[in-house]
Every structure is written in structure tokens, then in C-alpha cells.
Amino acid sequence: MILDGKRVLVTGGTGSLGGKVVRALLRGDVGRPAGITVFSRDEAKQNDMRLSFLNRPAATDEVIYTNSQQLLSFRIGDVRDYAAIRAAIEHTDVVINAAALKQVPSCEYFPVEAVQTNVMGAANLVRAIRESGARVETVVGISTDKACKPVNVMGMTKALMERIFAEANLEVPSTRFVCVRYGNVIASRGSVVPLFVEQIANGGPVTITTEDMTRFLLSLDRAVETVFAALEGARQGETYVPRVAAARIVDVASTLIDGRAIRIDVTGVRPGEKTHEIMVSEEECHRTISRGDYYVILPMLPELRDKQPFTPSLTTEYSSSAVNLEGDALREALAPFMAATR
């Protein structure tokens, strides 16, 4: 399997996605790594994560418990710190770069901080691999729909991260740099569904920013699958985009309320917020192909593209405005969260 015997570094490994990636690695979903290192700047989250893996309540989690003892290590550091990231990659084969400032309004109020983490952090990683001569085989950058036709700081910084990693394939040709791009992860920290669940459990009101807003609804498991799919199949400079269902946010709220007398308040669009998510733009359509369950955006830089002819898979942008998750299908998608609202 693709990660058998590999040493894997997960930056931002204590976040929602990073933690899920680490759990999948410990289960051996894509092979048994030789080592897994969680690199992040929050020692409290690292300690909580360590304890959670070492106190498995169910027999089915035994493999996670055992592998966490044998394979898992933690390293305090920040991708903003060049020396820290250079030291972390010294004996690493694969890097999954999940470190990010991702809250859209926060990035609007602190744009320089977003640049330092999302842009300079990526640049530090590329520089560290280049200058150290570390034999890193693959780097997977975690991007976002907001990087597509960006209108907010978070999206702009992630768009730059994508371009930094794409160009890095020319700068460090011995390392494969690829990206994954996806939209709203249902259960991630700061996403709308956990907020709605909390608001409903407290009796409401449930707050939405506008009734027109739509979002792709991606599970954390599917997000992790996308990372592993890119690890296995992406070529230098490519961006993997999962095909995923989309829904109106007001429908998500109504489904979770489930007929109870809980009010929905419309609060207005937040700073930097998009009405619809776009994962592939009209400009990217002509260089987007299908590969399995994914759209693959070929690199903009011609030096990185295969010279073989291809047929684009899209004729227009890939947007959440094409709602395809309603009624019973939406209820089924949200079923894991509905019990928590009671």
C-alpha cells in the first residue's frame, strides 16, 4: 500500500482534518507507515490527542491504541518558523500540510496573520526541502473552494499556497507537490453544522447569513479519502477535487430543527463570505479531467503538464449553486448529527 514503510509528517495534525488523517494512518487505511509525526503549535491539543489515542474504550480501536504507541510522535512547532519546519522534515518521506488559518472572518480582520501561516508557511516548507536536501517524496497541500475565484483573505492565501506548491515542482523536481481542494467539511471545527446543533440544543434561534447560501457537504471521511487519493494518483502540480453533493444552508438548518418550534434568524453575510462555493472555476474547466471519483485540475504551468491530449470533463464551473441534496437525501446525510440536537 502507498504508505507502507513511509515516515509521514502531518502539519496542523491536531485540527479536525489533521486528527482524522492521523487516525486513518494509525488504522493502516493506506498501509503501515514507519512513523507518524504530528507537527503543530498547540501543546494542549497535542496532549489531548495523545491521551485520546492511549485510552481506547472499544476493542475495535485496539489497532489505533497499539499503533499510537509504536508509530506516533508529537513535535511542537509552527510552519511560520523556518528552522522548526526544516528540522521536522529531516527524516520524512511524505508531508500532509494541513496547517492553516481557515476562519474566513478572522482572516479578514487579521490578514497578515493569514499570510504568515497559509502563504509563508507553504513557502517555508518548500524552502526547507530545497535547502536541506531532505528526501521528501510527496507533499500534499490542503486547499479550499475559497481559493477558486477568491473574494476573501482566506481564499486568496490558499490560492497562493496552491501556486507555491505547483511551482515547487520545478524548483524541487525530486519532490512531488500536489493539492486537494474541497468545500465545507460537515463536522470540522468552526463549520456550520456543529454551530446549528449547538443552537438547536439550546432552544435556538438558528442563525443563517442569507437564505440564498449553498454549500457542498463533505464528510471528514471523504476529505481524508481525497488526501489519500491524491497521494496515490496525483501527478506533479495537480489538484484533486472530490465530487460531492450540495445543499441550501437554510434547508440544512430546517432539517436539523426537524419540525420543532425553533426560529431561524437571517443575520446577513459575514465579512469575506461567499454565497456559493466554487471548486472548479470557468477558467479552470478547460484543464480539468476526471479520474475515478474526482475532478483533477491540471497544473497551469505548461512545463508540468503531460503532453498527451485530453478531453476536459467540465464545460462550466463546478459550484454548490447546482443544489442536488434535498429532502430525504439531506436528512440521511445529516442523520449522524440530528440526535445531538435533542
* Residues annotated as catalytic (active site), given as ranges: 146
Considering only CA atoms, give the Rg of the chain: 20
Q: Three-class SS of residue 275? A: coil
Whole-angstrom distance, CA of residue 161 vs CA of residue 159:
5
- Looking only at the bridges linking them, the beta strands covering 35-40 and 7-11 are parallel
Torsion of CA 224, 228, 229, 232, to 10 degrees: 180
Q: Are 81 and 123 in contact (CB under 8 A)?
A: no
C-alpha cell at 50: 495523545
Q: Is 140 helix (H, G, I), strand (E, B) or coil?
A: strand
CA dist 134 → 81, 96, 99, 170, 173 (Å) = 17, 15, 20, 16, 12
67 secondary structure, DSSP code: H
DSSP code string of 78-127: -TT-HHHHHHHTTT-SEEEE------HHHHHH-HHHHIIIIIHHHHHHHH
